[in-house]
Structure 1
């Protein structure tokens, strides 16, 4: 019998992307509330409890409500909202974060899908903290740019309606209270709050995140080659990793940092750039905010939970 999958919020940006990625698969069954019952409160609970896996593509409050409606021990959950990313009892759904993270996801009843913005910095910082090359109290600053689909339906509608008149480069989160800070801090292994400075660009999807490192104040200053080796070793040890590490080479610029280069995939590519004489480095991640940053990761986690090849 095929496992039943219910996407709660299937008509939102992430939900539609997940449906597209699962279209045509014959190893699962997608169940949906019929159109004539969508306004029935009981229908949502019925389908949540009928599913083997429920994927929540909802605002935080609605995601919490959905979890509360599950009245059995069989329905497993992947939550794509922010609601449970640092909550006890939930496994973080970044399969490559640690060597045993995929196994933890596979056996979990509750999986919190990662946010798009923290995933790149976590991917580069966590191996360095774990290897002892960066101390947990290192002052981390991150920045980057993402397509406007990362802002949800209202931002998508704004950018589409404005067309070429929409801002090409719009910084936001300037109160430094970004909702992803707790997630980034916890899973990067940091002891102090990082400073996040995100930017939205006038393109639909794709993103680049960057973590600049001023290394000169460290008791022992790691070289760029050491930073790269620690990150590369981490991902080399993970089977079926969706994360790749670019070669370490000195370049002034490279087309590989195009934020749209991994669109419509579940891939992520990491780069390390450095100037050892100046004790400075830059950690970069390139991925799709709707792929590895959202729906791609959700499908990867679903396959792990169901023991399917994907």
Structure 2
């Protein structure tokens, strides 16, 4: 069962309306069901990450919520507007950046920004002001007068998001925004996303990079075969799969043997003088181990707590591994 997301309070005793909500969202193409009744409840000013392998339905969910395509069933609201009956209200409140840069490579960065300002019906003076501010914020001032086709991948991505922000959206959909970027550019993009959220923007992020979701998201949902198979914080999800353990290492062989006797269900490593105890990583389990050692008058020289990472979670839930940026960097 996915972990439910609770809405935040507005201070007046009533829950704040979610930035994004969906109930029973469905979409099929012919006989292939892409979304099979997903529910979402995403608070304002948070980062929500939707994880899933290729073809899981992540981009389809973004397209429905951003009114680019219609759903076959279910209901969804974005910024308080129904995506089916009030699409104009949704579009006025959101910004969308897809997997591939939507900038025009034949014109300059500044011209791309001015064009987007025109599309958002900003006056010439206001459009210039906002464009200049965003170019500065995204460290693109020096490149603003150059054709975008000369930009690096990271620069194009920054320009893409800067253009998305021209209209001042309070909700931004980032559909795999760091695909194809080198590790430095990816980390720069993460910092940009953090700054957006600190300004109160809600970010709906789809990604195949587990490290990205772990770094950025307040809550994560795993989408597989059109269904959300798990949802919660990164720590919630890590506790869902086995493999966590507490590892104790000793330098004194007699202390090692005494600890092995005092503790139950331990895996011994006689060569390393190390013991491994299955654990979900909770404070209660750690305290129980320490109490048993204290009662026996034993002190470990080293104690570490190991919990499964999101890659373990993803593989357990979907049977697939997702992209690992660190591994990609050395290929």
Q: Normalized against structure 1, the TM-score is what? A: 0.26
Q: Normalized against structure 2, the TM-score is what? A: 0.25
